């Protein structure tokens, strides 16, 4: 995680078995194309399925971490996928959103949270 410090980013918990993650994924691609840094955590999943998913549906993640047993998710207090953590430039979690992100939610609420991360 030390390598990720310096710029704020989103830490997105996702899995191929998660229907809401599939629904959210195109919007994450849009955010990534707009310059939002997103780190993925592939949560309790099969790595080969996840790699095929990212090839088929595009990859919004600067880095995609693999959490096959949910250990990182447990440390973060993840209750399910998708969840997104807003991490500041010092690597500190400043905000957590449980559920899929779409354009309306981003514009109305979450964009301001991201832009106010230092």
Q: What is the pLDDT of residues 17-53, one digit of tens each?
A: 999 999 999 999 999 999 999 999 999 999 999 999 9
The pLDDT of residue 4 is 67
Bond preceding residue 3 cis, omega within 30 of 0: no
Nearest to 7 by CA among 97, 117, 110, 111: 117
Q: Mean pLDDT across the stretch 1-22? A: 88
Q: What is the pLDDT of residues 45-86, one digit of tens each?
A: 999 999 999 999 999 999 999 999 999 999 999 999 999 999
Angle at 90 between CA 10 and CA 9, to 5 degrees: 15
**pLDDT band at residue 6 under the 50/70/90 scheme:** confident
């Amino acid at each position: 995680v030390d390598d990720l410090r310096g710029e704020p980013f989103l830490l997105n918990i996702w899995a191929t078995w998660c229907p809401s993650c599939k629904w959210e994924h195109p919007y994450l691609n849009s955010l990534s194309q707009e310059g939002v840094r997103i780190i993925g955590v592939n949560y309790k999943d099969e790595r080969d399925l996840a790699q095929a998913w990212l090839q088929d549906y595009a990859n919004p993640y600067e880095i995609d971490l693999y959490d096959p047993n949910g250990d990182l998710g447990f440390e973060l207090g993840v209750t399910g996928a998708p969840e997104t953590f807003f991490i500041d430039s010092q690597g500190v979690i400043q905000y957590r959103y449980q559920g899929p992100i779409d354009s309306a939610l981003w514009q109305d609420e979450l964009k301001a949270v991201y832009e106010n991360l230092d």
